[in-house]
Amino acid sequence: MRAQSPGSPALDLRVTKRLLWVGGAAYPLQNVARVYTFVLHPKRKEAVLLFLKRTALTVVVAVALTLFGTIATFLARDDESFGGVMGFIWFVTVGGLVYYLVDMLAVLTASSHYVLAVESNGRSTALVTGHPGHLDQLVHQIAHAIEHPDTELNVRVERLSISNPSNYYFGDTVNMYGGTGNTGMASG
């Protein structure tokens, strides 16, 4: 969940007459919908809320199973039949809580990354990282290359390496006020 450190493997970002190459991936210049820079932030708030939700649910289930087992043991008047099962329930509960904690800490300790994004008309997006000034300059150079097909460009950028992309916010932030269940619609 970290960007490659300086001196780490870099990749070529090239513009030829009709293609934008990001490493080994080729994007036809006419299909590039947007080129921009932004800060890629981890989903810290969501990670904490997910941890709390998982923890609460796990503890409630463990307590319910323990209560059920205690009542069953009392009604059966057998003090030893449920002891091993109860130990297993709490062992799994503690293991789950540790897993949830580690999962949350991975997101909380993840760093933000300044990235250059290239979006195509389809669903694909290329992300690279580097020095902010260099990436901002590359946005202008790529935009110039799109407008002027005879332009060629070849630069080195840093490869963005994150272990779990779902732990990050991608795309634009939209604030909507009022209503519930808002759905975007394209008018035709």
Query: Structural domain of residue 121, as residue ranges?
Result: 10-41+116-167
Are 95 and 146 members of one domain?
no
pLDDT for res 176: 53
Which of residues 91, 108, 125 is at a domain's end? 108
Nearest to 101, CA basis, from 172, 147, 50: 50
Classify strands 10-15 and 113-120 as parallel, antiparallel or unpaired. unpaired
Do residues 176 and 182 lie in contact, with contact meaning Cβ atoms separated by under 8 Å? yes
Are 125 and 32 members of one domain?
yes
Whether residue 185 is contained in a domain is answered as no
**Residue whose structure tokens are 């036809």:** 28
SS3 of residue 19 by DSSP: strand
Are 94 and 130 members of one domain?
no
Are 61 and 104 members of one domain?
yes
Distance CA(36)–CA(167), nearest Å, equals 21
Q: pLDDT (tens digit, 0 to 9) for every residue of the chain, 188 residues total?
A: 334 444 457 888 999 888 898 888 888 888 888 999 999 899 999 999 999 999 999 999 999 998 988 887 777 776 666 667 888 999 999 999 999 999 999 999 988 889 998 888 878 888 898 899 999 999 999 999 888 888 888 888 988 877 777 777 765 554 556 556 555 554 44
Are 57 and 96 members of one domain?
yes
pLDDT for res 2: 36
**Total structural domains in the chain?**
2
Distance CA(13)–CA(139), nearest Å, equals 12
pLDDT for res 56: 97
Which of residues 61, 90, 108 is at a domain's end? 108
Distance CA(169)–CA(183), nearest Å, equals 19
Which of residues 73, 88, 108 is at a domain's end? 108
Distance CA(107)–CA(129), nearest Å, equals 19
pLDDT for res 169: 73
- Tokens representing residue 99 in the block: 């897993």
Whether residue 177 is contained in a domain is answered as no
Are 34 and 54 members of one domain?
no
Are 56 and 84 members of one domain?
yes
Are 48 and 103 members of one domain?
yes
pLDDT for res 71: 83
Are 53 and 18 members of one domain?
no
Are 54 and 99 members of one domain?
yes
Are 102 and 63 members of one domain?
yes
pLDDT for res 10: 85
Distance CA(107)–CA(9), nearest Å, equals 24
pLDDT for res 84: 77
**Residue whose structure tokens are 């810290």:** 44
Q: How many residues does the chain have?
A: 188
